[in-house]
Amino acid sequence: MTTGLTVLISADLEGISGIVHVTETNPGGYDYERSRKLMTAEVNAAVAGVLDAEPDAVVLVADAHGPYRNLLVEELDQRARLVRGKPRPLGMMAGLDAGADAVLFVGYHARAGSGPAVLAHTMSDAVLEVRLNGRPVGEIGLNAALAGHFGAPVVLISGDDAACAELREFVPGAVTVEVKRALGQAAADVLHPGKAQERLRQAAGRAVQQRGQVQPLVLSGPVEVEVDLYGPYTVDLATLVPGFARAPGARTVTFTCRDMAEAYRGVQLLVQLGQIKPG
């Protein structure tokens, strides 16, 4: 019997077990190819766990790190559908508009300014901090709120201890899978990849079965957004966008959105502007 259940797995790389340094996460960097294999294996563990519990579920995987082209397509579980490449309107959460009933965060990391936390940042090095209605958020909070806008609860996260604690602040009922314990920005006590995958598979099945006990994170509009940016030039560019304004001080851009989907697109735009250098 078909359950009609649709599950979205949003997969990042910094929170995968064994990953501790930026050169392991960037294409062309030291051990990046190994990192891709580890990322694919943890995603496969999550897919398997979901389908162990709900064999007829539709599982969508959003490649959500860097260029969004990291997962090894030929090694991904054939039962899953993959969304890859950028830019795309829902960014790290592509697939939500397919009617996701539950969301899993695999390989996630804590927000910029967290510590100790492995490879903590928020979307890019251009962003120092994001605040929604005055509350600091990273990718975990942003993505959980976007999921909530579509009515989907985030039922699981895997990553280091800081990432797991961060999701619990927003979604207390979510299942957390700690695959490493942070010792600093580029150091951690890590689980063996095989053990991490085993724990993730078991937890993913449990999380989708308990999805009814987890409430989506819903931010009612309007949503006030503040973004502290590293570069003054990026702030200059941002003020050219209608509705974006420079707050007192050189680095903060503010804007007000009707809802979380609009707010998310605004933050995505600022991240892209942060990649432009003065001409």
Q: What is the pLDDT of residues 40-81, one digit of tens each?
A: 999 999 999 999 999 999 999 999 999 999 999 999 999 999
Tell me the mean pLDDT in the region 209-218: 97
CATH number (domain holding residue 62): 3.40.50.10780
- Quick one: 204 and 245 in the same domain? no
Whether residue 192 lies inside any domain: the answer is: yes
- Quick one: 24 and 57 in the same domain? yes
Whether residue 278 lies inside any domain: the answer is: no
Tell me the mean pLDDT in the region 134-148: 98
Tell me the mean pLDDT in the region 203-214: 97
Predicted confidence at residue 248, as pLDDT, reads: 85
Tell me the mean pLDDT in the region 122-127: 95
- Quick one: 91 and 196 in the same domain? yes
- Quick one: 68 and 166 in the same domain? yes
Whether residue 1 lies inside any domain: the answer is: no
- Quick one: 261 and 166 in the same domain? no
- Quick one: 250 and 191 in the same domain? no
The residue among 213, 235, 257 that closes a domain is 213
pLDDT in tens, 147-189: 999 999 999 999 999 999 999 999 999 999 999 999 999 999 9
pLDDT band at 111 (very low <50, low <70, confident <90, very high): very high
Predicted confidence at residue 241, as pLDDT, reads: 97
Q: How many CB atoms lie within 10 A of CB 195?
A: 12
For the annotated binding site for Zn(2+), the residues are: 12, 14, 65, 109, 139
Whether residue 279 lies inside any domain: the answer is: no
Range of the domain at 21: 6-128+138-213
The residue among 213, 242, 265 that closes a domain is 213
Residues 6 or more apart in contact with residue 120 via CB below 8 angstroms: 109, 110, 111, 112, 113, 114, 138, 162, 185
The count of structural domains within the chain is 2
**H-type alpha helices, the chain:** 32-53, 139-149, 161-170, 193-209, 232-238, 260-273
- Quick one: 183 and 64 in the same domain? yes
For the annotated binding site, the residues are: 12, 14, 65, 109, 139
Q: What is the mean pLDDT of the chain?
A: 96
- Whether the pLDDT of residue 126 is over 50: the answer is yes
- Quick one: 204 and 252 in the same domain? no
pLDDT band at 250 (very low <50, low <70, confident <90, very high): confident
The closest of 62, 37, 59 to 48, measured between CA atoms, is 59
What's the predicted TM-score (pTM) here? Answer: 0.97
Residues 6 or more apart in contact with residue 242 via CB below 8 angstroms: none
- Quick one: 77 and 154 in the same domain? yes
Q: Give the residue, 249 or 34, on which the prediction is more confident.
A: 34
- Quick one: 207 and 250 in the same domain? no
Predicted confidence at residue 55, as pLDDT, reads: 97
Give the rounded percent of residues in the chain with a pLDDT score beyond 90: 95
Q: And the tokens for 79?
A: 């039962």
- Quick one: 263 and 171 in the same domain? no
Whether residue 218 lies inside any domain: the answer is: no
Predicted confidence at residue 165, as pLDDT, reads: 98
Whether residue 246 lies inside any domain: the answer is: yes
Residue 21 annotated among the catalytic residues of the structure: no
Predicted confidence at residue 54, as pLDDT, reads: 97
Q: What is residue 24's DSSP assignment?
A: G
* CB-CB contact of 50 with 175 (8 Å): no
- Whether the pLDDT of residue 1 is over 90: the answer is no
CA–CA distance, 208 with 104 (Å, rounded to integer): 9
pLDDT band at 89 (very low <50, low <70, confident <90, very high): confident
Predicted confidence at residue 2, as pLDDT, reads: 45
- Quick one: 203 and 72 in the same domain? yes
Give SS3 for 30.
coil
CATH number (domain holding residue 260): 3.30.1360.130
Predicted confidence at residue 3, as pLDDT, reads: 60
Whether residue 133 lies inside any domain: the answer is: no
